[in-house]
């Protein structure tokens, strides 16, 4: 589609409001009903093609009978009056009363209605028929139109210089439709190539059957486009020299769209001419559409050749190269580490060293890098490499180094840390956390206990309860207090507002039982 046609199509559809858009889409309601509605419209089109636009129900029935004689798949027993009225409600057909055939009042009351296509209804019907009748395998690049386009541009120059407005209108209309058709066919052709590239794994025979015709067709189109493109660009330049504004004014004056204002017709033809100009002449900021189509065609030829190579490789190995690379990529991405990924890639692409020439000098710095290989001293090669093509066995693996000294050092550090923590806990249990200066180990133990106690605090009725936490030998209690408390350390003071801290030792269960027994025995003796 040319630039002007694309602007008109986009602007017309986007300018519709919600109600107008609903009315337009209502035209396609017959596609959602049974197949009989489409056959009724085909019958109306059959009579319309023979210059009978207004039809009675009997005329539609006769046309359906003619279609049934050649198309056995057409459904029978159609309720024509109801179906025609439904199509009238969808604005596909327009009704009109024909009182000339009513010979009596009774016949007049039977509503001898005639039906004909509305303008939008006919466009909807033809759009559906175009979709149904289109064959996806009938696509091609229109290379034979370049000579006609060049001749039309030259005729346009002569008509503009001669002041023939009607001829200017005819040539511009023809050029706009030809370029739009050429763009549409090119888009369909390259879409077909993309579908063919995606379907080569499932149907390579189809591609191999038509590969020669595809390559020849694209090569001829690229050759003709390269031959005509400079001449077309030069001709467009000559059209501009003949007077573009005068040409557009003449085309707008000869335009037969009576419902459009002169300014609207002039703007429409300006957009069309801009599309034609951009198609054949490059601008300072971007190449012309013809140059882009030429580049796309050359790229498509390379793509078809590469696709042919992939298909042939796939047929030779049973699996296409593309599928193999995809499987290899999945394995590489699923590898546990980089070493495994490199090993998979090396195995897939056979990245190995040259084993029968492998080896290096004992001291590479003694040999200059500028020395050619045929003058460099030889490197001794193992006998197993020469005879069997395999490297010699590395032998038994070396014993594992256990690092007993490092282990002992770590054990000593851990024992010292545990001893310092135990001494700090004992000091806290004996002297408490307040009223004195705490050392570094004591602060670490206290902070650990505070963290545990604060995590276990709960709120009941908006008040904090007493929190407890402890270790095997030490216990901390946080009691709500308005004054709070202050803990002095070697690094400064730690303020704990709202709580009082109490630290005490934890007595083991067996020792507590013995102490309780001793106290009971003393009491009984007393």
* pLDDT per residue as tens digits for the range 97-152: 765 555 555 555 445 678 888 888 888 888 888 777 765 455 667 777 888 888 98
Verify that 181 and 116 share a domain, yes or no. Answer: no
Which residues, in sequence order, are CB contacts of 490 under 8 Å at separation 6+?
A: 437, 438, 439, 440, 443
Structure confidence at residue 454 (pLDDT): 82
Share of the chain above pLDDT 70, in %: 78
Compute how many other C-beta atoms are within 10 angstroms of the C-beta atom of residue 82.
9
Residue with the bigger pLDDT between 18 and 422: it is: 422
Residue with the bigger pLDDT between 353 and 32: it is: 32
Verify that 281 and 343 share a domain, yes or no. Answer: no
Verify that 43 and 111 share a domain, yes or no. Answer: yes
Which residues, in sequence order, are CB contacts of 235 under 8 Å at separation 6+?
A: 150, 153, 154, 157, 280
- The verdict on residue 175 lying in a domain is yes
Distance of CA 354 to the CA centre of its chain: 43
- The verdict on residue 16 lying in a domain is yes
Q: What is the mean pLDDT of the chain?
A: 78
Does the pLDDT at position 359 exceed 70? no
Does the pLDDT at position 84 exceed 70? yes
Structure confidence at residue 521 (pLDDT): 44
Verify that 236 and 326 share a domain, yes or no. Answer: no
Share of the chain above pLDDT 90, in %: 2
Does the pLDDT at position 226 exceed 70? yes
- Residue 321: phi and psi, rounded to 5, are -65, -35
**Residue 465 carries which DSSP code?**
P
Which residues, in sequence order, are CB contacts of 261 under 8 Å at separation 6+?
A: none
Residue-wise pLDDT for 447-470, tens only, equals 888 888 888 776 665 566 788 888
The Cα 503–Cα 435 span in angstroms is 12
Average pLDDT estimate for 56-62: 86
DSSP 396-431: SPPPPP--HHHHHHHHHHHHHHHHHHHHHHHHHHHH
- The verdict on residue 218 lying in a domain is yes
- The verdict on residue 260 lying in a domain is yes
- The verdict on residue 422 lying in a domain is no
Structure confidence at residue 523 (pLDDT): 42
Structure confidence at residue 346 (pLDDT): 85
Does the pLDDT at position 304 exceed 60? yes
Structure confidence at residue 368 (pLDDT): 81
Verify that 285 and 162 share a domain, yes or no. Answer: yes
Verify that 60 and 178 share a domain, yes or no. Answer: no
- The verdict on residue 46 lying in a domain is yes
Residue with the bigger pLDDT between 347 and 398: it is: 347
Q: Looking at the 3D structure of the chain, how many domains does it have?
A: 4
- The verdict on residue 396 lying in a domain is no
Element of type H or E holding 305: helix 289-317
Does the pLDDT at position 7 exceed 50? no
The Cα 200–Cα 195 span in angstroms is 9
Verify that 23 and 158 share a domain, yes or no. Answer: no
Average pLDDT estimate for 501-521: 61
- The verdict on residue 398 lying in a domain is no
Verify that 92 and 211 share a domain, yes or no. Answer: no
Does the pLDDT at position 356 exceed 80? no
Q: How far is CA 441 from CA 199, 417, 433, in A?
A: 73, 9, 12
The Cα 285–Cα 340 span in angstroms is 49
Tokens representing residue 168 in the block: 């200017």
Domain that holds residue 176: 146-188+204-292
The Cα 5–Cα 10 span in angstroms is 9
Q: How confident is the model at residue 508 (pLDDT cuts 50, 70, 90)?
A: low
Structure confidence at residue 109 (pLDDT): 47
Instruction: Pick the range with the lowest mean pLDDT from 16-25, 77-86, 272-281, 422-431.
Output: 16-25
State the CATH number of the domain containing residue 12.
Answer: 1.10.10.10
Structure confidence at residue 55 (pLDDT): 83
Tokens representing residue 320 in the block: 């296409």
Average pLDDT estimate for 178-201: 74
Structure confidence at residue 98 (pLDDT): 62
Average pLDDT estimate for 493-507: 83
Structure confidence at residue 255 (pLDDT): 87
Verify that 281 and 170 share a domain, yes or no. Answer: yes
Residue with the bigger pLDDT between 322 and 443: it is: 443
Structure confidence at residue 416 (pLDDT): 92
Does the pLDDT at position 4 exceed 60? no
**Residue 104 carries which DSSP code?**
S
Q: How confident is the model at residue 415 (pLDDT cuts 50, 70, 90)?
A: very high
Verify that 287 and 157 share a domain, yes or no. Answer: yes
Q: Is 1 exposed, middle or buried (0-12, 13-18, 19+ CB in 10 A)?
A: middle
The Cα 271–Cα 458 span in angstroms is 77
Q: How confident is the model at residue 1 (pLDDT cuts 50, 70, 90)?
A: very low
Does the pLDDT at position 205 exceed 50? yes
Q: How confident is the model at residue 526 (pLDDT cuts 50, 70, 90)?
A: very low
H-type helices in 404-508, by residue range? 404-431, 440-455
Verify that 176 and 113 share a domain, yes or no. Answer: no
Verify that 326 and 276 share a domain, yes or no. Answer: no
H-type helices in 242-288, by residue range? 244-254, 262-280
Structure confidence at residue 196 (pLDDT): 65
Q: Is 332 exposed, middle or buried (0-12, 13-18, 19+ CB in 10 A)?
A: middle
Structure confidence at residue 6 (pLDDT): 46
Instruction: Pick the range with the lowest mean pLDDT from 295-304, 339-348, 394-403.
Output: 394-403
């Amino acid at each position: 589609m040319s630039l002007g046609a694309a602007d008109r199509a986009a602007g017309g559809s986007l300018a519709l409001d919600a109600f107008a858009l609903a009315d337009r889409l209502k035209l396609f309601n017959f596609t959602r009903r049974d197949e009989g509605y489409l056959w009724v419209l085909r019958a109306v089109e059959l009579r319309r093609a023979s210059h009978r636009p207004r039809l009675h129900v009997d005329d539609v029935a006769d046309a359906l009978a003619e279609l049934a004689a050649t198309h056995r798949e057409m459904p029978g027993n159609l309720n024509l009056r109801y179906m025609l009225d439904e199509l009238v409600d969808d604005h596909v057909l327009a009704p009109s009363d024909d009182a000339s055939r009513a010979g009596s009042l009774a016949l007049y009351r039977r509503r001898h209605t005639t039906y004909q296509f509305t303008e939008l209804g006919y466009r909807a019907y033809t759009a559906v028929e175009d979709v149904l009748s289109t064959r996806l395998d009938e696509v091609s690049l229109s290379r034979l139109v370049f000579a006609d386009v060049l001749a039309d541009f030259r005729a346009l120059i002569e008509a503009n210089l001669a002041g023939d407005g009607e001829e200017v209108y005819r040539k511009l209309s023809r050029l706009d439709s030809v370029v739009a058709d050429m763009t549409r066919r090119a888009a369909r052709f390259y879409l077909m190539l993309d579908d063919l590239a995606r379907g080569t794994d499932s149907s390579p025979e189809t591609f191999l059957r038509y590969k020669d015709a595809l390559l020849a067709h694209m090569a001829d189109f690229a050759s003709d486009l390269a031959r005509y493109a400079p001449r077309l660009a030069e001709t467009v330049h000559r059209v501009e020299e003949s007077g573009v504004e005068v040409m557009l004014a003449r085309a707008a004056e000869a335009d037969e769209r009576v419902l459009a204002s002169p300014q609207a017709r002039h703007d429409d033809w300006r957009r069309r001419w801009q599309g034609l100009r951009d198609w054949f002449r490059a601008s300072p900021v971007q190449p012309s559409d013809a140059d882009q189509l030429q580049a796309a065609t050359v790229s498509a030829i390379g793509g078809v050749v590469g696709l042919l190579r992939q298909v042939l490789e796939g047929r030779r190995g049973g699996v296409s190269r593309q599928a193999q690379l995809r499987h290899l990529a999945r394995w590489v991405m699923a590898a546990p580490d980089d070493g495994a990924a490199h090993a998979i890639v090396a195995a897939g692409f056979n990245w190995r060293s040259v084993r029968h020439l492998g080896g290096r000098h004992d001291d590479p710095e003694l040999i200059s890098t500028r020395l050619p290989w045929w003058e460099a001293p030889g490197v001794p090669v193992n006998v197993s490499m020469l005879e069997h093509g395999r490297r010699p066995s590395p032998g038994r693996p070396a014993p594992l180094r256990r690092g007993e000294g490092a282990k002992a050092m770590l054990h000593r550090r851990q024992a010292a840390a545990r001893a310092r923590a135990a001494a700090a806990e004992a000091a806290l249990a004996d002297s408490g956390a307040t009223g004195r200066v705490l050392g570094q180990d004591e602060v670490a133990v206290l902070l650990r206990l505070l963290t545990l106690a604060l995590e276990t605090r709960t709120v009941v009725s908006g008040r904090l309860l007493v929190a407890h936490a402890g270790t095997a030998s030490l216990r901390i209690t946080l009691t709500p207090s308005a004054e709070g408390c202050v803990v002095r350390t070697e690094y400064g003071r730690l303020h704990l507002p709202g709580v009082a801290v109490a630290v005490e030792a934890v007595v083991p269960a067996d020792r507590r039982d013995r102490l309780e027994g001793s106290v009971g025995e003393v009491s009984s003796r007393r």
